[in-house]
């Protein structure tokens, strides 16, 4: 049963539905911790825009983090123009026609392969003041789901470390590593050991190393002091400048998605149709898969069978025509009625950035909420024009 949570105090009656809500207090708490890690460890910490790119809070984020990390041209432009600070870009498939514009925004550009580096090197080095690196695959696995494992066999992401020599990095000043996905400190510790074992022969040829993101630094009870000490020790021993680019950790527990019940019915078991959609608004629910928590409800396993004899077990689904548009199955103390508002928790990171308008479904509005003062500001709503503008 999810109950003791900052969003318990949110009055959803003042919001449009569906609506993403960002708790500014929790967001700033996360940012303060990340800045402490940066200050005390000497590492540089960036926001990974691929996970969270809400520029309505750019000013707050830029107070604490050194800049942003992008995975595409438009993210790079957003990072530089809306957030400011350092902009580090890594684009697995770098298009010839994007290179020049990308370099107007990116301070660091990370290439996916040596072939990419050799193909564009002349144009890249003609731009003074830029730093270039290579993404490297250490060949170490921490992610169980291959959909999210950048180091899975046959991965297209990065050059295998086992095939690289120090002289291959001539002209490059750093390497980029990424192998975590919502992991704890122990996984990071193992990762860093693997990086030293499998990539240490490259350290003498570089000035910096980007260790990626995927580490839940801002999760409750995360051992931040251990992380700081580990980074200090690594930096002292290798002499490398260290870069981290958290995404999830920036907005962890700082976002929710408010949704309204549109219909209630029964087909063997009870179900409710919501005005928010798994396939449109939270696709990782289907892809990962996972079930988001709902405030005040017990989250049941995905394999839960319908129970006609227990009407407080309700399956929640979206308003689209996709049969698999299922958010999850829950047990409610008071089963929701048509018109009730439900609050889905932790649906800011990797949710807002992935939303679509399949079936002409409404995009969720965006609100900023100060959970200390209860100040609420709806900063963006979407309309038919946002749907139409993507079509022709």
**pLDDT values of the chain reduced to their tens digit, one per residue, 392 residues:** 444 478 999 999 999 999 999 999 999 999 999 999 999 999 999 999 999 999 999 999 999 999 999 999 999 999 999 999 999 999 999 999 999 999 999 999 999 999 999 999 999 999 999 999 999 999 999 999 888 999 988 999 999 999 999 999 999 999 999 999 999 999 999 999 999 999 999 999 999 999 999 999 999 999 999 999 999 999 999 999 999 999 999 999 999 999 999 999 999 999 999 999 999 999 999 999 999 999 999 999 999 999 999 999 999 999 999 999 999 999 999 999 999 999 999 999 999 999 999 999 999 999 999 999 999 999 999 999 999 999 99
Same domain, 222 and 340: no
* 247 C-beta neighbours (distance < 10 Å), count: 23
* Burial zone of 373 (CB within 10 Å; 0-12 exposed, 13-18 middle, 19+ buried): exposed
d(CA 90, CA 112): 7
H or E stretch covering 62: helix 58-64
Is the domain of 262 the same as that of 245?
no
Stated pTM of the model = 0.96
Task: Decide: residue 186, CB within 10 A, 0-12 exposed, 13-18 middle, 19+ buried.
Answer: exposed
Residues 128 and 230 in one domain: yes
Q: Are residues 15 and 161 in the same domain?
A: no
239 and 267 in one domain?
no
| 381 in the same domain as 265 | yes
Q: Where among 194, 224, 251 does a domain terminate?
A: 251
- 101, 118: one domain: yes
Are 135 and 117 in contact by the 8 Å Cβ rule? The answer is no
CATH number at residue 150: 3.20.20.10
Would you give the DSSP letter of residue 21? E
d(CA 14, CA 49): 29
Structure tokens that stand for 49 in this block: 């825009």
To the question of whether residue 96 is assigned a binding role by annotation, the answer is: no
| Whether 42 contacts 239, CB under 8 Å | no
User: Which of the listed residues 204, 227, 251 is the one where a domain comes to its end?
Assistant: 251
**291 and 372 co-located in one domain:** yes
Q: Which domain range does residue 292 map to? A: 6-21+254-388
CATH code for the domain of 379:
2.40.37.10
> Do 47 and 110 lie in a common domain?
yes
* Contact (CB, 8 A) for 209 and 175: yes
In this structure, what are the phi and psi dihedrals at residue 389, rounded to the nearest 5 degrees? -65, -15
Are 86 and 232 found together in one domain? yes
Q: Are residues 156 and 274 in the same domain?
A: no
Nearest to 314 by CA among 299, 303, 329: 329
């Amino acid at each position: 049963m999810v109950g003791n949570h900052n969003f318990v105090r949110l009055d959803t009656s003042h919001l449009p539905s569906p609506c993403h809500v960002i708790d500014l207090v929790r967001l700033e708490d996360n940012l303060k911790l990340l800045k402490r890690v940066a200050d005390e460890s000497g590492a540089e910490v960036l926001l990974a825009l691929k996970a969270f790119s809400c520029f309505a809070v750019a000013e707050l984020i830029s107070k604490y983090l050194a800049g942003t990390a992008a995975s595409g041209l438009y993210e790079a432009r957003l990072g530089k123009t809306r957030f400011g600070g350092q902009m580090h870009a890594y684009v697995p498939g770098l298009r010839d026609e994007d290179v020049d514009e990308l370099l107007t925004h990116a301070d660091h550009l990370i290439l996916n392969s040596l072939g990419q580096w050799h193909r564009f090197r002349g144009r890249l080095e003609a731009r003074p003041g830029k730093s270039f690196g290579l993404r490297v695959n250490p060949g170490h696995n921490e992610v169980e789901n291959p959909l999210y494992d950048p180091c899975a066999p046959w991965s297209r992401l990065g050059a295998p470390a086992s095939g690289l020599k120090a002289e291959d990095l001539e002209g490059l000043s750093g390497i980029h590593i990424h192998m975590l996905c919502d992991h704890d400190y122990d996984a990071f510790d193992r990762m860093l050991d693997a990086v030293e074992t499998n990539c240490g022969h490259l350290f003498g040829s570089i000035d910096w190393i980007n260790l990626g993101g995927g580490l839940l630094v801002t999760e409750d009870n995360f051992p931040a002091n251990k992380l700081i000490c580990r980074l200090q020790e690594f930096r002292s021993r290798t002499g490398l400048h260290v870069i981290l680019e958290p995404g999830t950790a920036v907005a962890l527990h700082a976002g929710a998605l408010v949704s309204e019940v549109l219909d209630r019915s029964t087909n063997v078991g009870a179900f409710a149709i919501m005005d928010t959609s798994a396939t449109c608004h939270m696709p990782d629910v289907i892809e990962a898969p996972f079930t988001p928590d709902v405030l005040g409800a017990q989250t049941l396993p995905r394999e839960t069978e319908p129970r006609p004899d227990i009407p407080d077990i309700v399956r929640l689904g979206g308003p689209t025509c996709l049969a698999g548009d299922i958010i999850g199955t829950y047990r409610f103390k008071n089963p929701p009625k048509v018109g009730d508002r439900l609050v889905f928790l932790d649906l800011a990171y990797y949710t807002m950035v992935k939303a679509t308008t399949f079936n002409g479904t409404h995009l969720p509005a965006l609100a900023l909420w100060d959970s200390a003062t209860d100040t609420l500001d709806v900063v963006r709503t979407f309309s038919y024009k946002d749907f139409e503008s993507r079509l022709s």
